[in-house]
Amino acid sequence: MRAIYITVLTLLITGCGGGPEEDPGPAPEPAVAVKKAKGPIVRIGMLFPTSERRGQRARDGVELALQSLAKRKKVDFTYDVKWEHSKGEAATTIAAMEAFAADSDVLAVVGPLSPEPAAAAAAVANEQKVPLITPMTSPRSVTAPDYLFRTWPSDAAESAFIARHGHFSARYDRAVVLHVNTSVGQSYASGFSDEFQSIGGSVVDTISYEEDANALDATIKKVRAAKADVIFFAGSPPDIPEVLQSLSAAGNTLPVLSTSYLADPSVVSEKGLEGVVFPYPETYSKLSNARASKYFASAFQTAHGAAASVVSAESHDAMMLLDSAIVDAMGSGDEIPTRDQVRDALDGIVELKGASGVLRLDANGDAKRSFNLYSIKDGEMSRVSER
């Protein structure tokens, strides 16, 4: 792989930024991306739940990238961006992705944000051979190795990290795995179990529950009956607080390890989460001293009158990643590249210095990022040191 180094230091505006634990508040009305009529027209697709706050924040991040790219003097083409609303649903996502695939002028697509829609989009991307960059989703079920690229680390990497912490640092030997019965929950559960057992730990039981289950009593009893010294819990944001509160109410005294979903703004402020340890990747933070992150934060604040968030930064960087591939695929000419040429160019990018930090891609197009450990304290994420 040829290394291509991209940086986003063209955003020369001052201001302040946000962090991974922030809820940025209600989103403004969609802005119109800046376009400059010059050179060939390059059409790309964006697939986000734009009626939702995080979908609008993603759009804001992409549009900030487009505004920056439009100011370039050495690149002579114009982006034509087609926006589709994923609604956070697989069926809607498939229809939108198929429409993108049917439009031969669409070179690539960025989105969606959530695991289930992303899995659906990835299946279409691989079948129709359309490059797809997902900014915020990680499950191993999202697999389209030829045409899928991710700016967020896989849950396999996340699960392996927390499993190694549990066994080597915290000295846990016997784990009971509790997960929501979805593709995401199953993926986290299998990732943790595989790694934990491969390094010498044992999984004494694996217990699943249905999403939006009305009664958790039987599930909690099974967890408490397991002869374990730690619980690994993989839930989804709507049910995470209820499950953890039910465990506590039932008298659970076992330590709990979990996933980065605890950092979700809809979860982090809930009661009953204290003491649960979970990983979170190194990404955009208002505390970052990196020049690219600081410029992005100030530019976002000035452009939108609100603090940037992780989803804004990750979506911004996904657009920058795609742009670098398109520029490389075009070379010094003005002929619009093919989808396969864009895919090949994405394969050649191994590092992006962007708003979310330094993003490195592996041979499968997956993000390679370090993780840190956190717990919840007084409704906020608090860094936990390795033992």
Establish if 381 belongs to a structural domain: no
Same domain? 181 vs 260: yes
- Looking at the fold, whether 9 and 148 belong to one and the same domain comes out as yes
Predicted TM-score (pTM) of the model is 0.82
Instruction: Express each pLDDT in 283-320 by its tens digit.
Output: 988 777 888 899 999 999 999 999 999 999 999 999 99
- The answer to whether residues 154 and 192 touch, using CB atoms and an 8 Å cutoff, is no
Q: How high is the pLDDT of residue 211? A: 81
Same domain, 186 and 264: yes
Q: Report the pLDDT value the prediction gives residue 10, as an integer from 0 to 100.
A: 38
Q: Is residue 378 part of a domain?
A: no
Q: Residue 108: what pLDDT?
A: 98
Listed residues 256, 281, 306: the one ending a domain: 281
Are 252 and 168 in a shared domain? yes
**pLDDT score for 141:** 55
Number of domains in the chain: 2
The encoded tokens of residue 70 equal 């439009």
**Do residue 171 and residue 228 come from a single domain?**
yes
> What pLDDT was estimated at residue 12?
31
- Name the stretches of the chain with pLDDT < 70: 1-38, 138-145, 212-214, 386-387
**Claim to verify: residue 260 and residue 361 sit in the same structural domain:** no
pLDDT of residue 19: 33
- Residue 170 and residue 65 share a domain: no
R_g of the chain, CA atoms, integer Å: 21
In this predicted structure, what is the pLDDT of residue 22? 41
Domain that holds residue 186: 155-281
CATH number where 18 lies: 3.40.50.2300
Q: How far is CA 350 from CA 3, 4, 156, 368, in A?
A: 5, 6, 20, 10
Residue 290 lies inside a defined structural domain of this protein: yes
Cis preceding-peptide flag for 112 (omega within 30 of 0): yes
Angular region, 367: left φ>0, alpha ψ -120 to 50, beta rest: beta
Q: What is the pLDDT of residue 145?
A: 59
Q: Could you tell me if residue 386 is inside a domain?
A: no
